[in-house]
Amino acid sequence: MSIALQIQRLRQARKDIAASIAAKGVPVSPGARLDEYPALIDAIHQEEESADVLFYDYEGSLMHFFSRDRFLALESLPVNPFHEGLVAQGWNYGLEEAKAYVSRYGFLAIGQNYDTEDGATVVEAATDDAGAVTLIMTQSDSEGLSVDWGDGSAADTATGTGTVQFSHTYAAVGDVHITIGLLKGTGGIGGSDRGFLGSANNNRYLYALRIGAGITQIYPYSLQNSHFLESITVPKSLAAVGRQALRASYRLGGFILPPGAALVHPGALFSECNKLRCLSLGFGCTCTGSVAELGGCYSVEMLTLPEGWGPYGIYARNAFQLRALVLPEGVTNVLTNGFTPDISLRDVYLPSTLTSIGASAFSGAPLSGRFALPMTLAANIEPSAFNTSQMEALHIPEGITRMPASLCRYSRLLLSVIIPSTVTLMEENCLADCNQLDTMIVKASTPPTLYNGAVPSNASLTIYVPAVSVEAYKSATNWSAYADKIQAMEE
């Protein structure tokens, strides 16, 4: 083996060890010497700890993780990552902003934003079968953008403002490296609902995108169907991302939205991004016009919507790796089938501002970690909202008037349920097949209307009701079948 090859392997091994240490929550300086690594390894917490706060790099790799308590004890954020040709601009949350969020909600996904070294936008792509490439962009100033096609030809500019088109034919079919400089004003990716590479169909030729400073928008549909796009770096100048801009970017590993940016009528913005592991939404980011959809994002691990996000929530059906979700105060609804069947979803924060939890919203989700309905919740809860869960306890807030059909059906680990005094109706199968349910507290003085089969007849089940209402429950329609299980609750 040559000395050069041995050195190359040692460098790669050093890089891999540093990445492993960092992934355990211990920051590694880019300039750390090999003789410093043993101390860094010793600093790794050997005990098992929850990964409540995650730090991601642009391509979706996990750089650091911390438990809630350990994160709140930090005196500084981890060091910024280093990449050739890029300038790290910092994490999309500051330390105090992040601590305030984690203190309130328990979880947070944080990401790094980047500019390029010269501020230009860099495109890694391929020509079409005729050797041609078309770019669709927007510019605020005439001749504000300059495109270097990377083959020695003269740079192109375009007159006019708004959406502009650049086209070039290469001498041969193949991969190309394109640099887009911003000469004046601001720019945007795409425009006029057209694909960045001329059409949504041509976006399949895009492999990587490094967005430079001064690019302020990713326009609607601009990167849709970028089937082979693996990574995007996003600068802090980016202010808005439009409708369905990244839909069906199958290989995209991460997307880091900078602080204060907005998703505008996002719709199916991230739907079918099958390998999207990280979606980090920076401090102060907002969503206007519609819910952001992540249907089919099988790999996303944590979704933490920023405070001030607005009333629109998020839709992440079939997000099989999603384990933690934060819907902050201000969000008003969880859509029908919104998180079904997200089979890894244990921890969920729901805000008191919810007005609706849709049918089958969390059907199939375990909800076995930090999950509770806010005690000030006045939402309308639809059928099957939590069915097939693994929760052990459910406390339904005062103000809720109905336990809908199949609400928690097949929740076979459910041990106890508290039903408020305001409930007047318990629909069919609302607690059916909850085979371990042994404690049910019903606070209503007047027995709620009970559908046949709504409650399991487990041998261990005890139903506690107000002392003054014991006899009324024992003789009420369908409650009478549980007469031997009904007892007076302690006042």
pLDDT for position 19: 72
Q: Look at residue 138 and tell me whether its pLDDT is greater than 50.
A: yes
Q: Look at residue 471 and tell me whether its pLDDT is greater than 50.
A: yes
C-alpha angle 429/437/451, rounded to 5°? Answer: 25
Q: The pTM is what?
A: 0.88
pLDDT for position 21: 72
pLDDT-derived band at 200 (thresholds 50, 70, 90) equals confident
pLDDT in tens, 17-36: 777 677 666 667 666 777 67
* Tokens at 60, concatenated: 């979706």
Among the residue ranges 45-59, 204-218, 304-318, 432-446, the one predicted with the least confidence is: 45-59
pLDDT in tens, 139-149: 999 999 999 99
Q: Look at residue 46 and tell me whether its pLDDT is greater than 60.
A: no
Q: Look at residue 379 and tell me whether its pLDDT is greater than 90.
A: no
* Tokens at 347, concatenated: 């921890």
pLDDT-derived band at 251 (thresholds 50, 70, 90) equals very high
Q: Look at residue 440 and tell me whether its pLDDT is greater than 60.
A: yes
Q: Look at residue 118 and tell me whether its pLDDT is greater than 70.
A: yes
pLDDT-derived band at 325 (thresholds 50, 70, 90) equals very high
Average pLDDT over every residue of 152-166:
97
Per-residue H/E/C for the chain: CCHHHHHHHHHHHHHHHHHHHHHCCCCCCCCCCHHHHHHHHHCCCCCCCCCCEEEECCCCCEEEEECHHHHHCCCCCCCCCCCCCEEEEEECCCHHHHHHHHHHHCCEEEEEEEEECCCCEEEEEECCCCCEEEEEEEECCCCCEEEECCCCCCCECCCCCEEEEEEEECCCCCEEEEEEEECCCCEEECECCECCCCCCCHHHHEEEEECCCCEEEECCCCCCCCCCCCEEECCCCCCEECCCCCCCCCCCCEEEECCCCEEECCCCCCCCCCCCCEEEECCCCEEECCCEECCCCCCCCEEECCCCCCCCCEECCCCCCCCEEECCCCCCEECCCCCCCCCCCCEEECCCCCCEECCCCCCCCCCCCCECCCCCCCCEECCCCCCCCCCCEEECCCCCCEECCCCCCCCCCCCEEEECCCCCEECCCCCCCCCCCCEEEECCCCCCEECCCCCCCCCCCEEEECHHHHHHHHHCCCHHHHHHHEEECCC
pLDDT for position 48: 41
pLDDT in tens, 219-250: 999 999 999 999 999 999 999 999 999 999 99
Q: Look at residue 332 and tell me whether its pLDDT is greater than 80.
A: yes
Q: Look at residue 11 and tell me whether its pLDDT is greater than 90.
A: no
Among the residue ranges 14-28, 409-423, 431-445, the one predicted with the least confidence is: 14-28
